[in-house]
Amino acid sequence: MKEKFNPELVKCIDLSFEGKGVTKTSYGVCFVDGLFPGEEAYIEIQYRRAGNLFGKVTSLVKKSPHRIQPLCGVCSACGGCQFQQLDYDAQLEYKTKKVKEALERNKIKGIEVLPCLGMEENPYNYRNKIQVPLGLNKHGKIISGFYRANTHEIIAIDECFIEDVRAKSIVKNVKQLMKEFRYSPYNEDTGEGLIKHLIIRTSYHYKQIMLTIVTAYDEFKGRNNFVKALKERCPEITTIVQNINKRRTNVILGEKERILYGTGHIKDSILGVDFIISSKSFFQVNPIQVEVLYKKAIEFAELKETDDVFDAYCGTGTIGLIAAKQAKSVLGVEIVGDAIKNAKNNAEINRISNSSFIVGDAGKVIEDLANNNKRFDVVFVDPPRKGLDEKFINTLLKIKPERIVYVSCEPETLARDLAILNKSYVVKKVQPVDMFPMTYHVETVVGLYRK
């Protein structure tokens, strides 16, 4: 039987690590989207999950001085943004505080967390990768947008204010052509329909755009004419890729691809180093802030021409290739084979000869190298959200490089790992960077120096 709750008037006392307003109700602590510290509101508790209550605002009684009018009319329903109603300075303060509190919970004290570095000009329209699901509304019209938080219900959106502005017209034209060519969007419930997702990747430094059309099956009638018509309407698109995903799964991309137009990739640049981006390549989504992030990482590394560098979780070689300009050598390791192919290609196109990249588990590779008396002066780590594994940390403590630069997308696992590394390293510099304005996410760069 579904639990029932009465509406309550509450006061927001804080923001959670997911950017939700923290309130106290007669039923316990409740997390509420779009409610900010100091605000009072009537809320409706919607559900209990893992012992926690979650609710929504039904009526706002007292507003925060930091509340602003959002650009997007559906930001409270869409799962893409959490902070469009919060002014940008307050967003940055929240992200700085989030990192500080994560460190304090892990008993890392006396370390200055620098103010979060935000976008200096426009904190909107920054995303260079846009993933758009397609569907039909109740009137049979093709819609595109984002999934409502924790659901697969599409919230129809004609313009997203955190995406590259060039995406809007491309999505609009694809939907118009789908109607003309009688292509149906994929229906998750029935398994019928052709087009599942559109993925648009834009280059910041070059006039290049890639469109990936994810389809439920391989061959479809009129494909060549569809591509020709799309090129005519959107000449700014420089390459079109068809990705075939026949599985009924939450995973967006399938294994098989076909280049329908152009080279199948685009090129972009970070701090003067060019990178090839394919449909499956990982590449930071904020091309302006990634330069801020990597500048800090290189600064904290204090690189010298005699340094041997280990780049763990190297992806397509971004940090390693930038560091190679100032170091003796760079070895990058990544478990994803396609990423290593891209890294080698990126080294070649930039004529960087003092770098090498291998496929493997970073922890095992560095352990094997340590057992063969190989040492590194600097180690860069940029792990996934789960942070570093125990074997990798133990090996770092064993080989003791002079400097470690930790780039993290998750303050909690960062703090957990720093608490262990703190045995042999001094944590001197902690710099949050806002890679994802209007959301609760924050990147952090930390400089660790051997005691």
* Catalytic residue positions, numbered: 409
- The beta strand positions in 63-208, using DSSP E, are 129-136, 142-147, 154-156, 195-202
Q: Hey, what are 249's tokens?
A: 């799964």
Which residue is listed with tokens 């290049």? 208
Cα–Cα dist 368/364, whole Å: 6
Q: Hey, what are 399's tokens?
A: 């080989």
Cα–Cα dist 299/291, whole Å: 12
Helix (H) or strand (E) holding 31: strand 28-32
Nearest to 126 by CA among 439, 383, 374: 439
The answer to whether 242 and 174 have CB atoms below 8 angstroms apart is no
Cα–Cα dist 435/15, whole Å: 19
* H-helix segments, 199-336: 223-233, 289-301, 318-323
Which residue is listed with tokens 């309130």? 23
The answer to whether 24 and 10 have CB atoms below 8 angstroms apart is yes
Helices (H) and strands (E) counted in the chain, each on its own, are: 9, 21
Cα–Cα dist 403/396, whole Å: 10
